[in-house]
């Protein structure tokens, strides 16, 4: 590294660093120091990375049934909500579901078809990490291969940090500097109502993941909204280590835990975005297509509402672009988003095709109120939908309606398009 532009080769900030870059370089140096606390922490088996309260209820590696007192055939107490999203599950049936998950996860090879079937209606929190990573294809279905896969992928991500992120601000191209600045601005704005994401350690982790992903995927690069898609992974993968995800202190976690969460979140975000890549390329054609499909779908299922919005001059793109770009993450509480993603991950093309039906059911839910509003009132109402107090009932109804719509209209898009052309 040339001394003329300053650097962090030895962890020191040289006097030649321009003043405007001092804060950025210092931040990089602090993040690098944190990552060096336990460089191998991120590759230990997850069950050895428990918090001080020994709350590692979830293991990425399926437990050995002989060592697990809650395995099939062992006495089991009735199920009670314990972790993120559990209150959105039906307690009367979740005990049976837990047994199904235990039987499935204890198999040498997990049947993904069965996993999708039981995860569709929600994953108990103790199985969600494994279920999501299997459904995304990050974890192999063969349990014997999982530890080796995790070790390799986590090491690979840790190598990305110095390679792509810690090279120093002065070595970045103009494009890379712009990406860095935009992500750095967006991180504090991410899930502002969730205290976890106001933690500087969490914001540094989000910054690293998003920047590394953007630099390694120049075809799309970073687009605002991708930061929102990272948060469910970060929350879900962190949940096994803390009592309360809403009030945890990341600085108190054992060294290596944030590294585990960060590395796995990076790879799972990558898997997710690989499936919806055209949402974030130039002009975002994937999102434009989903908005178009939603408009046509609403014309079929609630023409009165569709026509009212048109009469008021409100274009679908004006309020549903955010629904597609951020997958309703700014419309629903994070806990509900996590439960929603159980279903999306269980569906084929859940984040693109099934999401359109969910958005249709979501818009239909507010129809009576929307029909009474004029343009300005519509804009305000749709930007601040009253979902803060939603519980399990509203979300179950939303998914049930989306499921019915999918089976009623799936495969009919060509008909919808031809009808649109005729009109």
299 and 418 in a single domain? The answer is yes
189 and 93 in a single domain? The answer is no
CA-angle at 247, arms to 241 and 250, nearest 5°:
50
| 333-351: average pLDDT | 96
Determine the pLDDT at residue 78: 64
Determine the pLDDT at residue 336: 96
121 and 256 in a single domain? The answer is no
Of 243, 275, 307, the residue at which a domain comes to its end is: 275
Q: What are phi and psi of 386, to 5 degrees?
A: -80, 75
The answer to whether residue 65 scores a pLDDT higher than 90 is no
Average pLDDT, the chain: 82
| 288-314: average pLDDT | 97
Report the candidate in 323, 390, 322, 387 with the shortest Cα–Cα distance to residue 355.
Answer: 323
Tell me, what CATH number does 368's domain have?
1.10.472.80
d(CA 6, CA 171): 10
Determine the pLDDT at residue 79: 72
Residue 280 lies in a domain: no
346 and 407 in a single domain? The answer is yes
Residue 103 lies in a domain: yes
404 and 291 in a single domain? The answer is yes
pLDDT per residue as tens digits for the range 169-212: 678 888 999 999 999 999 999 998 899 999 999 999 999 999 99
Residue 312 lies in a domain: yes
The confidence band for 413, taking pLDDT boundaries of 50, 70 and 90, is low
d(CA 150, CA 297): 42
Residue 106 lies in a domain: yes
d(CA 385, CA 302): 19
Determine the pLDDT at residue 15: 36
Residue 51 lies in a domain: no
152 and 192 in a single domain? The answer is yes
238 and 129 in a single domain? The answer is no
Give, as one character, the DSSP assignment of residue 107: S
128 and 223 in a single domain? The answer is no
Q: Is residue 99 within 8 Å of 28, Cβ to Cβ?
A: no
| 41-52: average pLDDT | 40
163 and 224 in a single domain? The answer is yes
170 and 224 in a single domain? The answer is yes
Of 80, 113, 138, the residue at which a domain comes to its end is: 138
pTM over 0.85: no
d(CA 282, CA 273): 15
d(CA 147, CA 78): 31
The confidence band for 80, taking pLDDT boundaries of 50, 70 and 90, is confident
d(CA 70, CA 73): 8
Number of domains in the chain: 3
Determine the pLDDT at residue 50: 40
Full DSSP string of 305-363: HHHHHHHTT--HHHHHHHHHHTTTTTTS-HHHHHHHHHHHHHSTTIIIIIHHHHHHHHH
Of 275, 310, 338, the residue at which a domain comes to its end is: 275
Q: 214 is in which domain, residue-wise?
A: 3-37+147-275
Q: Is residue 98 within 8 Å of 179, Cβ to Cβ?
A: no
Report the candidate in 164, 21, 209, 173 with the shortest Cα–Cα distance to residue 7.
Answer: 21
Residue 52 lies in a domain: no
The confidence band for 246, taking pLDDT boundaries of 50, 70 and 90, is confident
Q: What are phi and psi of 142, to 5 degrees?
A: -80, 115
The confidence band for 31, taking pLDDT boundaries of 50, 70 and 90, is very low
pLDDT per residue as tens digits for the range 352-403: 999 999 999 999 999 999 999 999 999 999 999 999 999 999 999 999 999 9
255 and 186 in a single domain? The answer is yes
255 and 159 in a single domain? The answer is yes
The answer to whether residue 289 scores a pLDDT higher than 50 is yes
CB atoms within 10 A of CB 112: 15
């Amino acid at each position: 590294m040339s001394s003329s532009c300053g650097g962090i080769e030895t962890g020191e900030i040289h006097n030649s660093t321009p003043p405007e870059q001092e804060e950025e370089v210092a931040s990089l140096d602090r993040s690098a120091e944190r990552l060096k606390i336990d460089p191998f922490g991120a590759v230990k088996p997850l069950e050895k990375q428990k918090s001080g309260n020994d709350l590692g209820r979830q293991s990425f590696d399926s437990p050995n049934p002989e060592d697990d007192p809650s395995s099939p055939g062992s006495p089991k107490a009735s199920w009670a909500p314990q972790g993120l999203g559990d209150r959105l599950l039906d307690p009367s049936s979740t005990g049976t579901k837990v047994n199904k998950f235990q039987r499935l996860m204890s198999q040498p090879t997990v049947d993904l078809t069965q996993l999708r079937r039981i995860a569709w209606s929600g994953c108990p929190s103790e199985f969600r990490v494994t279920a999501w990573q299997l459904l995304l294809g990050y974890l192999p279905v063969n349990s014997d291969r999982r530890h080796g896969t995790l070790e390799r992928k986590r090491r690979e991500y840790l190598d990305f940090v110095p390679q792509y992120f810690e090279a120093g601000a002065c070595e970045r191209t103009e494009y890379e500097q712009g990406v860095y600045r935009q992500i750095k601005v967006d991180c504090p704005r991410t899930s502002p109502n969730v205290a976890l994401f106001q933690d500087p350690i969490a914001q540094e982790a989000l910054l690293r993941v998003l920047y590394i992903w953007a630099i390694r995927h120049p075809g799309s690069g970073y687009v605002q909204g991708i930061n929102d898609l990272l948060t469910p992974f970060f929350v879900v993968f962190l949940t096994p280590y803390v009592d309360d995800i809403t009030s945890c202190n990341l600085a108190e976690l054992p060294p290596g835990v944030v590294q585990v969460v960060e590395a796995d979140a990076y790879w799972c975000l990558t898997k997710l975005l690989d499936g919806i890549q055209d949402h974030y390329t130039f002009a975002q054609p994937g999102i434009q297509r989903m908005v178009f499909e939603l408009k046509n779908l609403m014309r079929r299922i609630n023409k009165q509402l569709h026509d009212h919005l048109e009469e008021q001059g409100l274009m679908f793109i004006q309020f549903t672009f955010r629904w597609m770009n951020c997958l309703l993450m700014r419309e629903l509480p994070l806990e509900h988003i996590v439960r929603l993603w159980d279903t999306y991950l269980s569906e084929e093309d859940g984040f693109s095709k099934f999401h359109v039906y969910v958005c249709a059911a979501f818009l239909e839910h507010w129809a009576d109120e929307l029909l009474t509003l004029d343009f300005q009132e519509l804009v305000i109402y749709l930007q601040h939908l009253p979902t803060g107090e939603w519980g399990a009932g509203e979300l179950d109804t939303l998914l049930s309606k989306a499921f019915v719509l999918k089976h009623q209209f799936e495969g009919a898009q060509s008909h919808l398009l031809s009808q649109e052309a005729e009109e």
